[in-house]
Amino acid sequence: MEVAQLKYLEEDFGLAKRRYAELRRQKRIFNARNRIIGGDTEAWDVQVCDQKIKEATEKARQETFAAEMRQNDKIACISEDRERRERKNLCKAINDFQQSFQKPETRREFDLSNPLALKKDLPARQSDNDAWNTISGMQKFMGEDLNFYQRKKFQEEQNREWSLQQQREWKVARANQKCAEDLYLKTRLQFDETAKHLQNLESTNRKAVCAAVKEFNKNQALESAEKKIQEKKQDQEDNLAEISNLLRGDLLSENPQQAASSFGPHRVVPDRWKGMSREQLEHIRLVQKQQVQEKLRLQRDMDWDRQRVQRARAALLLERQQQRQQHDLRRALDCNNLGLAKEQLSQKKYMKEICTNHLTEDYFAQFNTRSR
């Protein structure tokens, strides 16, 4: 019975490892699906380029929208400031007009709410031309005063002056309003022209980008179709060449001489080796049986050692348990003895107290007898 040496085992292990690697490689080579399908880096580059163009187009579009939004915000701010100034000027003009031409003294009913009316009051009647005669005084009736025509003429002249002044103010206000409307219309038209120009620029840029993208996609499609045709043709040629080489080669013919190595008869070429002979396989099985027997012997020794250790441990645990039981018995005996000692001591004290009481009673009885 031969014993396997370490170097032979290492060589056999290396051969088995190389054989497994060869089988894995053959599985990869003969799998047509994994050999044909793969990553197309050029197509990925084209997709990345298309994505960059799309991002650049979207960025330009967003920048155009942002510029238009800023322009609209600026126009809105200018319009709001102009409206605020016009409202402020209008309120100021109304206040100035009220302060200048609508004073309380100029009102027709001011004499009814004049706080100085009593101080300025005159006697009931001074003359026929007295302007302070009231209706309730019945000093002067309507149409009987001497200044009727002058007062009427003055009132007409005053009404005419007021009407002319209101017409002038109304014309000035209409002119200012028309000027403001013309300025607003002019600004609005300018803004519309600017927006239209920006929209035309955006449309032109979008058309140019779309045309460029379309032309680029068309060229890419033509190049891709031509490339696929060339690749398909090249794949067919490669497949035919590979099939021809495999059919004529030693791989499929399983020629055992192709694994012979030039370094010695015990060496083989790993990528051409077709397997071990029957004698080599029987030798390997024999070595494996020896290894199994050796492993079983070691396992039995380990079981005997484990049982011996377990028995020793069980004996030690039993001894410790007996020691604990003896210690508990000794402690219980000590406690019992201590209780008996305390009980005896209490009995002694009790008996001593009884004797003392009897002696005291006898002494008092003798003393009483003597006294009688």
* pLDDT-wise least confident of 25-34, 134-143, 297-306, 346-355: 134-143
Burial 73-108 (b: 16+ CB within 10 A, else e): eebeeeeeeeeeeeeeeeeeeeeeeeeeeeeeeeee
Supply the pTM of this predicted model. Answer: 0.23
CB 126 within 8 A of CB 137: no
Confidence of residue 1 (pLDDT cuts 50, 70, 90): very low
Q: What is the pLDDT of residue 171?
A: 92
C-alpha–C-alpha distance, residues 371 and 368, integer Å: 5
* Structure confidence by residue, pLDDT tens digits, 294-353: 999 999 889 898 888 888 888 888 888 888 888 888 888 888 888 888 888 888 888 877
Task: Look at residue 281 and tell me whether its pLDDT is greater than 70.
Answer: yes
As beta bridge partners, residue 268 has 260
169 pLDDT tier (thresholds 50, 70, 90): very high
pLDDT tens readout for residues 199-245: 888 888 888 888 888 888 888 888 888 989 998 888 888 888 888 77
C-alpha pair distances (Å), 47 with each of 52, 130, 174, 222, 242? 9, 107, 66, 15, 33
15 closest CA partner among 320, 271, 300: 271
DSSP-assigned beta bridge partners for residue 260: 268
